[in-house]
């Protein structure tokens, strides 16, 4: 199986991505949700509020999941009951290994359902308060949540390849995620957004502002 660090171009990365279980579930799901949202129509201010909310919430949500679930101690409830940290520990041991880098199709499906339920729970009261259409707004939230997860998976693969992104946005994500893996696992916890790191003060500007961790590969600390 191809390893992420053997991929040297975006085209090769995309070809590898679409063959993964994560992409095989996420890409058709996003396409269906987009089609349904366009067919339903009823665009309004609720959609704009949802868009802003998703953009703002993405970074803090990534930080919370990464820090409290993926990096949870093996003896914690989430690790013992949900098994959320075991695969991620394998990922830190060998970051370019694809089976641990991306979600399996079943895991992507579970995450999508959880995100969809959370999106509806957060959106419905807001749409009711501002007078927007509840159903269209909720569909927008579900669609954006699925797009966000697909983008997370793509970005996570991209920053582990031998390809160096040229845009400022992806170059920054690439640099910070590599620092997380190879400098100190307690910092740079965002993948598609570093807003959570900014809020929680885990986004040092330079490598030498934090010590090199001996447990970045094992997550034993």
Contact between residue 14 and residue 127 where contact means Cβ atoms under 8 Å apart: no
Give which of 178, 172, 216, 221 is closest to 198, Cα–Cα: 172
Whether residue 38 lies inside any domain: the answer is: yes
Number of domains in the chain: 1
Element (H, E) at 106: helix 105-130
Per-residue pLDDT of the chain (221 residues; tens, 9 = 90+): 789 999 999 999 999 999 999 999 999 999 999 999 999 999 999 999 999 999 999 999 999 999 999 998 877 766 666 666 788 999 999 999 999 999 999 999 999 999 999 999 999 999 999 887 999 999 999 999 999 999 999 999 999 999 999 999 999 999 999 999 999 999 999 999 999 999 999 999 888 899 999 999 998 75
* Domain residue limits at 51: 4-209
Whether residue 49 lies inside any domain: the answer is: yes
pTM here is 0.94
Whether residue 186 lies inside any domain: the answer is: yes
Whether residue 217 lies inside any domain: the answer is: no
Whether residue 221 lies inside any domain: the answer is: no
Contact between residue 74 and residue 85 where contact means Cβ atoms under 8 Å apart: yes
What are the tokens at 190?
């965002």
Specify the residue for token string 């998976």.
153
Whether residue 220 lies inside any domain: the answer is: no
Whether residue 215 lies inside any domain: the answer is: no
């Amino acid at each position: 199986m191809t390893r992420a660090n053997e991929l040297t171009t975006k085209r090769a990365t995309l070809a590898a991505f679409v063959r993964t279980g994560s992409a095989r579930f996420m890409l058709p799901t996003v396409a269906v949700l987009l089609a349904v949202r366009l067919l339903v129509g009823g665009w309004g201010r609720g959609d704009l509020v949802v868009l802003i909310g998703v953009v703002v919430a993405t970074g803090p949500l990534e930080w919370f999941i990464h820090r409290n679930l993926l990096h949870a101690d093996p003896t914690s409830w989430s690790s013992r009951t949900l098994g959320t940290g075991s695969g991620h520990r394998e990922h830190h041991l060998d970051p370019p290994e694809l089976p641990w880098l991306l979600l399996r199709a079943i895991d992507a499906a579970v995450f999508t359902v959880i995100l969809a339920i959370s999106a509806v729970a957060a959106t419905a009261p807001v749409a009711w308060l501002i007078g927007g259409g509840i159903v269209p707004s909720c569909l927008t939230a579900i669609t954006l949540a699925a797009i966000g997860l697909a983008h997370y998976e793509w970005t996570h693969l991209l920053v582990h390849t031998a390809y160096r992104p040229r845009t400022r946005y992806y170059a920054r994500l690439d640099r910070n995620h590599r620092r997380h893996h190879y400098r100190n696992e307690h910092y740079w916890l965002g993948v598609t957004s570093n807003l959570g790191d900014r809020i929680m003060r885990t986004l040092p500007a330079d490598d030498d502002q934090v010590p090199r961790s001996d447990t970045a590969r094992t997550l034993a600390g």
